[in-house]
Amino acid sequence: MNDLYRTCLRKGTNMTTGLQTGTDGIIRCSWPGRHVDYTAYHDYEWGYPVDDDRSLFEKICLEGFQAGLSWLTILRKRDHLRKAFADFDPAIVIRFERREIEKLLEDSTIIRHQGKIESTINNAARCLELMEEFGSLATYIWSWEPSQTTRVSSDSLPTFTPTSAALSRDLKARGWSFVGPTTIYAFMQAVGLVNDHLSGCFAHPKVEVSRKNLIRP
């Protein structure tokens, strides 16, 4: 038995299913580990359907910022990123100019990556174009909802899918950036286009109810 396996067992993680039993006795997906903030994100946000345009734009931008980093890093900087990018209001972000970019590059509370900062400003413009064409960003995003597949173990979780690849291609064709297939699948998971809480996780049926009750835009 290797050290990683022993560590996972001590933490209550089932290496086969990808589930863990928390100190609260609740069975959930194992990826949040024992981080309190990460667990809260898993329990109350991840996978629950999102259908308002500002939140969807924020999610896709944050997934772009996450590229090459851990989501926990983004989660812990999220409030600072919201402040820096005007609560991810695309109508405001689109007006950011060189002055704002230079200021952001000096802000140690956010991800100081020039390409990702400029991508967020570019994507704000592309977001407004989609809103004008489709009536809302939500209408466009939810039109890509795939058929649901229940994930029974961590081995069954893909990093991207044919749908995320197709959505990525369409967004890139429309001028979006930092929207590769893996980034887009993480976005789809986060906003509830799919329910990738594992079978056996307490949140799986709760997300299913929320998805069932959602009135698609």
Which residues are known catalytic residues? 41, 63, 71
Give the amino acid at 200.
G
φ/ψ (deg, to 5) at 47:
90, -20
Secondary element (H or E) of residue 205: helix 203-213
Give the amino acid at 60.
I
Q: Are 118 and 101 within 8 A, CB to CB?
A: yes
- Distance (Å, rounded) from C-alpha 58 to C-alpha 55? 5
Please report the sign of the dihedral spanned by the C-alpha atoms of residue 84, residue 89, residue 90, residue 96: negative
Q: Which residues make Cβ contacts (< 8 Å) with residue 2, sequence separation at least 6?
A: none
- Distance (Å, rounded) from C-alpha 89 to C-alpha 49? 19
